[in-house]
Amino acid sequence: MSISYWTSTLKRKRCEAQGASCSPADWIRQDEWPVGIHNMGNTCWFSAVIQSLFHLPVFRKLVLNYCLSERILEKCKSHSDKRNIAFMQELRCLFALMVGSTRRFVDPSAAVELLREAFRSTEAQQDVSEFTHKLLDWLEDAFQLAANGNSLEDKKENPMVQLFYGTFVAERTHEGKTLSNIEQFGQYPLQVNGFNNLEECLEGAMVEGEIEALHPDQTISSGSKRWFSKLPPVLTFELSRFEFNQSLGRPEKIHKKLEFPQIIYMDRYLHKNNEQTHNRREEVKQLKEQLTVLQQKLERYRNYGSGPTNYPLADMLQYMLEFACTKPTSVSPAEDARLAASSPTPPSSTPPSNAGPSDSSTCQQKPSSSQRTPIYKPFTQCRPPMDAPPHPAPHSVTEEELRFVKTCLQRWRTEMENNMNELKASIDRVSQALEGMYSDNSLCQVPYRLHAVLVHEGQASAGHYWAYIYDHSNQCWMKYNDVIVSESSWEELVKDSYGGMTNASAYCLMYIDDRLPHLIAEDTDDETGQVMQGMDSLPPILGHYVREDNRWFQQELREWEEQCYQPPQQEPAAPTAASTSTRVPSKEKDEPAEQVPKPGPAREPTGEQGQEPEAESAVEPAVESETPDTQADGEDGQDAPPATRRRQQQPENVVSEVEIPNVGRILVQADNDGYNEEMMLTPAMQGIIMAIAKARQAFDNEGPEAGLIKAFQEEYSRLFELSQEETTAQQDPRLHHALVYFFQNQAPNRVIERTLLNGFTDRNLSFDNRSISIMREARAKLRLIKPEDMDMEEYMQWHDDYSLFRTVFVYLLTGLEQYQHGKVSEALNYLNHAYKDNTMLLRRGEKRGVEQSLIALYRRRCLKEVNDNAATLFRSGEVSGVEEGVIIMNEAVIPCMHLMSRPDMVSQEDLDTMEAIRSHWCSYLEMDLDDSLQLKLGEFLPRVLDCSTERVVLKDPPTVRSKVPHDLCSRLAAIMESITNTSVVSVK
């Protein structure tokens, strides 16, 4: 689709392009604004996908730092390997230009041409899911070459697999037996037809309908269910919006509306929560059936009648009441019709002989001859008469009958209204129960945040793609439409993406694990710790490539300026699109680098930009970091984008509480400039917010102190109940909150109360007046605690113990994960530290640490494998192998045996393992070994036989990445499931 079409239909925003202008000055990137990608002809699918991946920092860093050694390059002989390597090099160059180019948009033609060769047609517009599948396959193969291995374990270490691929458990019930298998997935397909939102799509994908087969003696149901066993950090949903029309013989697009949230919790779809989710699904099924019955009952009241047209019953009773209360005219309708037919003027009427007690009042209302109703003559009058005919009214009714009818109708109408109100209240209660079925804290531990939405506009055979991508550093949505990059909003995204209104709708949704901050974290300098931005974040070879391209672009600008200042008789030649090539020219010797010149007034282009100079000058240019997803110098805001600077300069933001099913999930702050900021709260803070919500009545009736006390009691009770849950191999409630750990270990009440009270002083509670008042009340009470009232050393000791407890868990889980991946030496080091620190905790109490037998079991297994590896290298006789074997013994085996041989830590299983290792090495004394091997054996064998003869220090483990409670819970469930099922399930 042409660029001019989009620039003419879209309202211009700051830094928005006007298309591929003929002026190079219009191609200058403004203030590090994100760059666009030039459409090479039916390549908008490439731009949408590449922009979504580029603005994911973890992926961008993997691509930019991709490197193959000369040895691996020499081994790559196949066409596919060479093609993948060439594509990775072009993708690296493209990403480098998107980071540091001074151009407003870059040329992707080299990478696109490589991809087009893999598709059926070079001219047809590609399907975005087809391209994404192909792209991920090529990337996986390219990184597999870098890993220099093709085994199953090597593939699990592939960063593309770790980032984009997950696993699910497929369970099928057949003849009363449950069969299951684990399968891998990349993009997860979801059907759109028949569903209203993403949650319903997932429910439909997870549970397929049950089929009942009748047997002679019983009925056996069969069906299939899916449960995610491992979710990838980047979770991509492919929305199936195309279907084949059999009658027309062609594909058609499904324009149905489908809603999706910015945050989705995946807990209910995880295999570890299958029992809990199954029970809730049964409850949901019952509630939906109950809701259907209630809605049907209410509908009968709203549409009453046996004819083709139905009416609300309450309205019908009201109309009947109005009819019964209407006073009749003095002449019956039959008499009035007879007189009108016999005389052109109606005679004065006399009351009928059967007139009731109401005749006197009726006679007073009798119209005179001058007030009679005129007859409308359509052929002689230009408009109908102004006076309306009298309403119908009963003529034969006594006062007693009228009073009886009125009483019945009023009573029935009241009954109908009460019944309808009760039904509406019941429907509201059931609807609220349905909405809150999956919104409690136990099923809100795995949040995924929407990162990108790929939109398609058009039909199945043709259309246009663009992407909405969330800028995590500035907390705003950006729209990437080929060369046009503009700031957007959630409202605009919804309008274009939900579907149902136009022929534009979301086709692919990309969510990222909100518990993994490294996904959106930028690289930092090892020495200074500062975030590396722009050119500083590029490898040297790519930095040189971008600088050369920028120098070439500056030369184009200079040539254009010279043409603009030529005499009028010399007509300058306008540069063409071909002059924007990103091929790097040879660098001229001693040519100084120049800054990119800004177009001056003399070079102001004509057209739309020239027609609105005031509007252009009023738009403040955006300032972003060198890499678009990173805010520069966010602490002081000097180099931050204008929107960010305005936020920092405001003295106080206006904060509002958003009513959503998951209480406390998101707080929305709106500053005076109208910018919205979203903040994801921790599960502990969500519990505090839920407690404050439950204390609303106490706060409103008795004030902040009563509200704090009520909220304190609610959260105290919740955490105490959580502490009573059973600890299993797959879950440990102590990981959820420090207070659960304190409760299980009988911590002093003053420690528990101060810890909980401190939670109510968090500044993140500043989202409404009630929460602010309770926060201030909690801070006031915390200040009242005097030093003599609290033993702070004891308080800090309890918190240090809990921190050490979580550290032990991190060491244990990391060790088990390394063991599952075959890295036994690294696993042994982690398990040694876990065992040592856990022993310190267990000395203070049984519930202070982790089950020691689990650590000891896998430590012994790792020790055996590490020792076998060292022995194999030692027996090889090769100098390098022998040296490596001795190093393994000195740095891994002997320190572990030294730790195991401590009297307070040794077990019979450990003694047996150490005795087997000693016997194995002693058997070498009976062999005919070389003198050099005998010498090496004599150096470390005494230390193997008596590990206590010298002080041995354990090797420090690498720094652990995360101690977030819900992260540890997920990793624990995954690794224990992995061990139980003897299949690797990792959580990265």
Q: Which residues are catalytic?
A: 44, 464
**Length of the chain, please?**
988
Q: Please, where are the H alpha helices in 565-703?
A: 608-611, 613-618, 642-649, 683-694, 696-702
What distance in Å separates the CA atoms of residue 784 and residue 751, rounded to the nearest whole number? 15
The pairing of strands 666-670 and 654-657 is antiparallel
Written as six digits, the tokens of 512 are 């990222």
Give the 3-state secondary structure percentages of the chain, helix then strand then coil, rounded to 5. Answer: 50, 15, 35
Please report which helix (H) or strand (E) contains residue 914, including its range. Answer: helix 908-922
Instruction: Report which DSSP code applies to 211.
Output: E
Using alpha carbons only, give the angle 451, 457, 460 rounded to the nearest 5 degrees.
Answer: 115
Coil vs helix vs strand at 396: coil
All residues at 6 or more sequence positions from 823 whose CB lies less than 8 Å from its CB, including other chains: none
- Give the closest residue to 913 by CA, choosing from 857, 975, 970: 857
Residue tagged 């996986």 (tokens) = 140
Q: Is the backbone of residue 382 left (phi > 0), alpha (psi -120 to 50) or beta?
A: alpha
CB-CB neighbours of 155 under 10 Å: 18
Please report which helix (H) or strand (E) contains residue 485, including its range. Answer: strand 484-487
What distance in Å separates the CA atoms of residue 481 and residue 105, rounded to the nearest whole number? 11
CB 155 within 8 A of CB 144: yes
All residues at 6 or more sequence positions from 170 whose CB lies less than 8 Å from its CB, including other chains: 180, 181, 182, 183, 224, 225, 226
What distance in Å separates the CA atoms of residue 90 and residue 87, rounded to the nearest whole number? 5
Coil vs helix vs strand at 229: strand
Written as six digits, the tokens of 874 are 């030692």
Q: Number of helices (H) and strands (E) in the chain: give both, helices first.
A: 34, 19
What distance in Å separates the CA atoms of residue 28 and residue 557, rounded to the nearest whole number? 9
Please report which helix (H) or strand (E) contains residue 225, including its range. Answer: strand 219-230
Instruction: Report which DSSP code applies to 626.
Output: S
Q: How far is CA 534 from CA 31, 546, 952, in A?
A: 12, 11, 46
Instruction: Report which DSSP code applies to 725.
Output: S
Instruction: Report which DSSP code applies to 197.
Output: B
Residue tagged 């090797």 (tokens) = 955
* AA identity, residue 426: S
- Give the closest residue to 397 by CA, choosing from 434, 364, 367, 352: 352
Written as six digits, the tokens of 361 are 């009042």
CB 672 within 8 A of CB 654: yes
CB 274 within 8 A of CB 462: no
Residue tagged 């803070």 (tokens) = 685
What distance in Å separates the CA atoms of residue 22 and residue 560, rounded to the nearest whole number? 10
Written as six digits, the tokens of 205 are 């994908």
Using alpha carbons only, give the angle 682, 685, 691 rounded to the nearest 5 degrees.
Answer: 145
Burial 523-558 (b: 16+ CB within 10 A, else e): beeeeeeebbbbbebbeeebbebbbbbbbbbbebbe
